[in-house]
Amino acid sequence: MNRGTRSKKFREMGFSDRLEFVKLNAQLNDDEAESLRSLTSNDFENSNRMIENAIGFFKIPLGIATNFVINNKKYLIPMAIEEPSVIAAASYAAKLANNSGGFKAAMTKSVMRGQVQLTCVPNIKVAISSIENHRQNLIRIANSVSKKIAAFDIKTRIVNDKTHILRKKMIIIELFVDVKDAMGANSINSMCERIAPEIERITSGTTILKILSNYCVERLATSEAIFFKDDLGGENIVERMLYAYALAYSDPYRAVTHNKGIMNGIDAVALATGQDFRAIESAAHAFACRSGIYRSLTTFSRSDAGDLKVKIELPLAVGTIGGIASVHPMAKLCLKILGANSAKELGMVIATVGLAQNLAAVRALSSEGIQKGHMKLHAKNLATSVGANAKDIDVIAKRMYDTNQVSMKNAEKILNDLRRNKKIH
């Protein structure tokens, strides 16, 4: 790194200089720095357009979940995830659902809300009345932002400061927007900012926050399926699965882990298709505690024939246009593979994958236990991490799994034994 480069800010550096800066300051060796370079150099321009201070892409395995039939349509579902068993489990559950006709899914309209926080008004009742009287004009101003999405309603709420720091009431002006096939965040934020000066003018108050809410309860996705008891392992397994669900519904400590399994499936599809999976997570967990207690996002019940009925419902803000979904080359490719023709269809698919993943996980937990499948794949990961070649990975993994000694130390020992035997022979 030359003297001129040293004086530059990190954001002003090119890829090579940024890499050299990180190498020096993080004390990376030559091999580590070369790993960064070889993995990211070709992708630098793309990553640098998406985020600030980029040095490349952090790659996550991409797989395809199969067997899914949703509303009588077959899907190949891209999933980006680093955790083993998830894609296999979702595909397995989808296969079982096909025996009863597949999944039936639905989604409400693509409605999001933006919020403008109004404080310090001289008279709350007068301010609310003034906002209502100017309602149509505020909607008109909001709609001057975009020709593609449309605000259609404005409502007000009074929110008390429950921190007791300011001890003041706030008026929240909520703008409801039909975002169609977009997620809608940028446009709604702009709409809120656009109407804020007019709100201040007509109320003599002060606006603070102007931003969308990710808690999109007007944008709910549902999916359901019946799983035949014989496919699950019989009446006893169904009974055990219902007990497992009862715990997830009744106890937040179990519900968090239960819903984490659901989000394994949801986040993986969201990430692959360029969605804001953090917003999806936040809304899902808020929805899970809408009753005042954190509960399962899925519901399990028994049909008259003794089969298992499973349903999921959650808010899902997703889009097939705009945002990363329109910029990231892999996200665009994954959307094409998936073949979802609208944001509503994408939401139905994502909810269904969450249901499928949950069904498979609860069945495994209720029968042989979750670790059986996990440990087989974990053994392969350990064999890879100790430097085994492709031919030896399965051998090492099988020996560890068969002897119930799945550990890094044992993987190294087996690999060294294999290498010594090869030299002898």
pLDDT tens-digit readout, 328-348: 889 999 999 999 999 999 999
- Percent of the chain having pLDDT more than 70? 95
Q: Are 211 and 79 in contact (CB under 8 A)?
A: no
The predicted structure's pLDDT at residue 407: 86
According to the model, what pLDDT value does residue 371 have? 60
Do residue 226 and residue 361 come from a single domain?
A: yes
Cα(32)–Cα(19) distance, integer angstroms: 11
Q: Provide the domain limits for residue 76.
A: 62-105+219-369
Residue 272 shares a structural domain with residue 248: yes
Task: Say if CB 64 and CB 338 are below 8 A apart.
Answer: no
Last residue of a domain, one of 213, 243, 269: 213
* Average pLDDT value for residue range 158-177: 94
Domain total of the chain: 4
pLDDT (tens digit per residue) in 120-144: 999 999 999 999 999 999 999 999 9
In a shared domain, residues 154 and 135: yes
Question: Cα dist. 139→111, 142, 154, 173 in Å?
Answer: 15, 5, 7, 12
Q: What does the pLDDT read at residue 398?
A: 83
pLDDT at 425: 42
User: Is the pLDDT assigned to residue 366 strictly greater than 80?
Assistant: yes
Identified catalytic residue from 374, 376, 398, 413: 374
pLDDT tens-digit readout, 3-25: 555 678 999 999 889 999 999 99
Do residues 364 and 376 share a domain? no
- 107 forms beta bridges with 221
In 3D, which of 67, 117, 73 has the Cα closest to residue 89?
67
Residue 112 has pLDDT above 80, yes or no: yes
Integer distance in angstroms from the first to the last C-alpha of the chain? 50
Helix (H, G, I), strand (E, B) or coil at 75: strand
Reported as type and span, the H/E element at residue 375 is helix 371-385
Q: Both tokens of residue 397?
A: 């993994």
Tokens 């519904």 sit at which residue?
249
235/288 same-domain check: yes
* pLDDT above 70 for 41: no
In a domain, 57, yes or no: no
Q: Which amino acid is it at 348?
A: M
Judge if 311 and 386 occupy the same domain. Answer: no
For position 230, which CATH number holds?
Answer: 3.90.770.10
Give the pLDDT confidence score for residue 415 in this predicted structure.
87
The span from the CA of 395 to the CA of 194, in Å, is: 63
Please tell me the least confidently modeled range out of 3-7, 74-78, 100-104, 414-418: 3-7
Find the catalytic residue in 83, 132, 230, 368.
83
For residue range 76-99, list pLDDT tens digits in order. 999 999 998 999 999 999 999 999
Residue among 224, 276, 307, 392 flagged as catalytic: 276
Average the pLDDT over 148-165 and give the result. 95
Final residue of a structural domain among 213, 247, 276: 213
Q: What is the pLDDT of residue 423?
A: 62
Q: How many residues does the chain have?
A: 425
The closest of 58, 82, 77 to 334, measured between CA atoms, is: 77
Inside any domain, residue 351 = yes
Cβ–Cβ under 8 Å, residues 36 and 19: yes
Q: Grade residue 154 by pLDDT with cuts at 50, 70 and 90.
A: very high
- Evaluated on CA atoms 226, 313, 278, 326, the torsion sign reads positive
- Residue-level pLDDT at 383: 84
Q: Name the 3-class secondary structure at 154.
A: strand
Instruction: Provide the greatest CA pair distance for the chain.
Output: 92
Q: Which class for 357: exposed (0-12), middle (13-18), buried (19 or more C-beta within 10 A)? A: buried
User: What burial class does residue 196 get, using C-beta atoms within 10 Å of its C-beta: 0-12 exposed, 13-18 middle, 19+ buried?
Assistant: buried
Q: Identify whether 260 is a catalytic site residue.
A: yes
Within-domain flag for 79: yes
- Radius of gyration (C-alpha) of the chain in whole angstroms: 26
Mean pLDDT of 166-190: 95
Same structural domain, 346 and 246: yes
User: Over the chain, what is the mean pLDDT?
Assistant: 92
Dig out the tokens for 170 from the structure.
Answer: 């706030």
56 occurs within a structural domain: no
H-helix or E-strand spanning residue 33: helix 30-40
> Quick check: 424 pLDDT over 80?
no
Ranges of beta strands (E only) in 297-374 are 298-302, 308-315
Q: Is the pLDDT of residue 40 over 70?
A: no
If asked whether residues 223 and 340 sit together in one domain, one would say yes
Mean pLDDT on 204-214: 98
Q: Are the beta carbons of 354 and 261 closer than 8 angstroms?
A: no
Residue at 322 is within a domain = yes
**Together in a domain, 273 and 321:** yes
Active-site residue 276, yes or no? yes
pLDDT for 1 beyond 80: no
Least confident of 235-239, 283-287, 369-373, 392-396: 369-373
Domain identity same for 152 and 300: no
Task: Tell me: do 395 and 358 sit in the same domain.
Answer: no
Calpha distance 89→376 (Å, rounded): 14
| 87 within a domain of the structure (yes/no) | yes
Residues 316, 256, single domain; the answer is yes
- Is the per-residue pLDDT at 284 higher than 90? yes
Hey, what are 334's tokens?
Answer: 């994954």
Res 327: pLDDT: 79
119 and 210 in contact (C-beta within 8 Å)?
no
Active-site choice (8, 73, 180, 260)? 260
The CB density around residue 160, as the number of other CB atoms within 10 Å, is 10
pLDDT at 63: 97
8 Å CB contact between 225 and 97: yes
Q: Which CATH number covers residue 191?
A: 3.30.70.420
- Tens of pLDDT, residue by residue over 351-362, are 999 999 999 999
Would residue 55 count as lying in a domain? no
Token pair 């997620």 is found at 183
CA 251 vs. chain centroid, Å, equals 23
Write the pLDDT tens digit of every residue in 60-73. 999 999 999 999 99
**What single letter denotes the amino acid at residue 242?**
L
Poorest-pLDDT segment among 126-130, 211-215, 406-410: 406-410
Confidence grade of residue 57 (pLDDT, cut at 50, 70, 90): confident
**CATH code assigned at 382:** 1.10.8
The type of residue at 286 is A
